[in-house]
Structure 1
Amino acid sequence: MPDDVWAQFVQDSERDIRTSEAPKEPSARARMVTERLRQQEARGELPPGWRTGPAWQEMNGQKARRRKVWTIIGVVLAIALAVVAMKPSLLPGDPFGTGTDTQSANPLPDETAAPTNAPSNAPGTPTLDKPFAGSPAVRYADGVAGIVLPEAKPVGAFGKDQVAKALAQTKSLLVDANLDRKTLLGGTPETTLDKILDPKQPDMIADARSWLRKPGKNSDPLWLFSRFDPDEVRLVGDVVKTRGRTTFKAGRDGGVAIHADYTFVYALAPADPDSTEVSRTIVRRVLDLELLDPAKYEVTPGRLSVNRHDQDLANSACDIYDGFLHPQFDSADPTGAPPSGPTTDPYDRSRDIGKSGTEECGTVSRT
């Protein structure tokens, strides 16, 4: 500190002391101490920098740095807390005791290959607001978003655009037969019958229309279509959960063979509008479709033929052949015949359902 600055400091300090209510004796002592320090400094008896106190400056700098670090940490923590408050699912597990596993709600990636095992259990109980709680389907895609088509490429006698159209038709069939609300409530899937399936495939379309008009044990529209009786149940919400995959390869004589394997999960409640009970029916469908070369087969260009249609209908009454799925509710007495088949997990997509028929109605391990 320069001498003139120090002198000014001493002068100001003495003035403040004189004008204050403090006793006069401390100011005299202060002058004596000041004079003694000045004489010691003149004789070189005091260490350099005694006035500025380098140690104290260093300590003040460390304190300032610590304050800066803690300020930065505080800002980061505040931002993190705000983000978690808006989206608790970012935290693993259930730290707030909500009773649900927030991680389980994270959507699954697209299915690109056959699974090797069944999905794990999911906590929760279905409600009208959260009808898929307690089900692996809570992580399935919503409706059409779950039908992801592979990239088209030329196959056999067909170019890339023709293969892409056939894949798009496959998706339209799946939507029309299993997701369209009109079909689900008992309507006729006209898009499938009028625009996708080949009318030249012997008996295919005629049989399907006959099944819809007069369903029976040997003429069941559920072999191809998902339908519920609106006088018995109502759909809960606007979402059907969907999980599966579509693949294709070279077919017969330059044709294109398309394989579709999808699981559809429906949330339902009794038709009574006052009922709050929720049940789920799970339908898995495996379809083998084919786009045949018109130069080698008597087919309609651009239409698909059905080579295979298998289905697994879970949580639907057995041995009722009225063309509708009949979900079972805990509050109601069971309908239909008692299950006679083995116990299966309807969410186990690693299982080969084979050519199952409605006569193989078994018990489900979960819904």
Structure 2
Amino acid sequence: MSEKPPEDPSSSPQLPEQIPDEVWEQFARDSERNIRDSAVKEPSARARMVTERLRQQEARGELPEGWRTGPVRPEHDRRAKRRRLWAFIGLPVAVAVAVVAMKPSLLPGDPFGTGSPDVTASPLGEETAAPTAPPGATDPETPTLDAPFAGSPALRWADGAAGIVPPEAKAVDGLPKERVELALRLTKKLLVAANLDPRTVRGERPEDAFAVLDPKQPKLFDDLNRSLRAPSDADDPLRLFSRFDPKDVRLVGDVIKTRGRMTFEKGEQGGVAVHADYTFVYPLVPADGRTEVARTIVRRAIDVELLDPARYVATPNRLNVLRYDRDVGNTSCDVHDGYLHPEFPSDTATDGPGNGPVRDPYDRSREIGTGGDCGTASRT
């Protein structure tokens, strides 16, 4: 036999030098208790008797169903309640999902990226420069009493006087800022009085407009008064005022859509010269009770100057009118009674194509006053 090689002390497990007696005694007691608790115990005679009685009662149907499983625990009860709650909520949710799937437009905004934003929630910003093209095409919707601007680019325009926003005033060529502010304010007042004032629109005398104009510009006053008193092709108040015959039509609601811009500079006579170019869209219905809606579009360009009374024969704080032009979309060309006369779908259903050039009355990139009134509007 070969000799057993000596063990390397460094590789042998090191045991404690001595385990205290009390530790060994505790270990022995714990082991004995664990063995005793885990051992299979024989049921007592009483337990066997109770079990047998219950088995016989169950066989005779005297015990309630589920007696073996014991009472329902609270957690189980909560889960059952949640299931009933979701069952109650689930049906309405499923119906709502189905409705939205068929008509996503019922949801606000454009959550699915359909590319059809709610245009009523995105009004156009101010027009600060001349457009380079007409407004894009819109959905061919029929205007109604509740939505008189449906299908019109003007749907996104500002309402009434809110659409006439003068530029920020500043001193120009020796003219103080305060003088420029006054000229811009008077120009806006004239535009509102001539095109938006309800009295003017329903055919009454535009007194507020006359209150802005300089009476020391006699030819203008004489021409305007004559046109209102005895309108004709030569003396037409529509050249400066937007007027409708209340016996013929009435405005739908109280909103007239407005869009345009205003600029200023030092005028040829040394005053503050203001150029204004605005389009007004009027929704109308016949006065005979029909509910069909038509729109008339009026674009106006006007040049005025606030003169210095110290240098010229002029009334303080009144405007001199230098030039005014207009284009109108959807009005009769053959009536010269001082009122605009829109045509309605039922009026034109049996008519042939209109005379004159076809033009877009919403096209603000085109020079004004180049097409006259007699023509066909490509859209209203």
TM-score by length of 2: 0.69
CA contact (8 A) 1:317 1:335 kept: no
Cα pair distance change 1:153/1:191, threshold 3 Å: same
After superposition, residues 157-168 of structure 1 pair within 5 angstroms as 158-168=175-185
Whether contact under 8 Å (1:253, 1:296) holds in the other structure is no
Fraction of identical pairs, as percent: 55
Q: Out of 324, 339, 345, which is 2:339 matched to?
A: 324
For residue 129 of structure 1, what is the aligned residue in structure 2?
146
- Structure 1 counterpart of 2:310, one-letter code: A
User: Secondary structure at 1:254's aligned position in 2?
Assistant: coil
Q: 1:147 aligns with which of 164, 167, 188?
A: 164
Q: 1:363 — aligned with what?
A: 376
Gapped regions of structure 1 (runs ≥ 5): 25-80
Distance 1:112 1:18 in 2: 99
Q: Which residue of 2 aligns with 1:89?
A: 109
Per-residue CA distance 1:247-270 (angstroms, 9 max, x = gap): 101111421110000000000011
User: In the superposition, relative to structure 1, how do residues 356 and 214 fare at CA in structure 2: closer, same or farther (>3 Å)?
Assistant: farther
Which of 212, 221, 224 lines up with 1:196 in the alignment? 212
Query: Cα RMSD over matched residues?
Result: 3.3
SS at match of 1:133: coil
Instruction: Please list, as runs of the form range in 1=range in 2, the aligned pairs for 1:1-16 lying within 5 A after superposition.
Output: none
Query: Which of 244, 249, 252 is 2:265 aligned to?
Result: 249
Q: Which residue of 2 aligns with 1:216?
A: 232
Structure-2 separation of matches of 1:336 and 1:260:
36
Alignment CA distance shift 1:337-1:293 (3 Å): farther
Matches within 5 A, 1:1-367: 88-91=108-111, 102-103=118-119, 106-123=122-139, 124-156=141-173, 158-193=175-210, 195-273=211-289, 275-333=290-348, 339-354=354-369, 357-358=372-373, 361-367=374-380
Structure 2 residues not aligned, in runs of 5+: 1-26, 49-99
TM-score of the superposition, structure 1-length normalised? 0.71
CA distance in structure 2 between the partners assigned to 1:248 and 1:205 by the alignment: 24
Aligned partners of 1:92, 1:293: CA distance in 2, in Å?
60
Structure 1: which amino acid aligns with 2:314? Answer: V
For residues 223-278 of structure 1, the C-alpha deviation after alignment (integer angstroms, 9 at most, x for no partner) is 000001111111111100000001101111421110000000000011123x2200
Q: Look up the SS of the partner of 1:332 in the other structure.
A: helix
CA gap 1:85/1:267 in 2 versus in 1, 3 angstroms: closer
Alpha carbons 1:92, 1:102 under 8 Å: kept: no
- Once the two structures are TM-superposed, the CA of residue 156 in structure 1 deviates from its matched residue by 4.3
Query: After the TM superposition, which segments of 4 or more aligned residues of structure 1 sit over 6 Å from their partners?
Result: 84-87, 334-338
Q: How many residues align?
A: 289
SS across alignment from 1:119: coil
Q: 1:310 to 1:159 in 2, by over 3 A?
A: same
The CA distance in 2 between the partners of 1:103 and 1:323, in whole Å, is 35
Give per-residue Cα distances to partners, 1:164-198, cap 9 Å, x unaligned: 111111111111110111110001110111x2111
What SS does structure 1 have at the residue aligned with 2:303?
strand
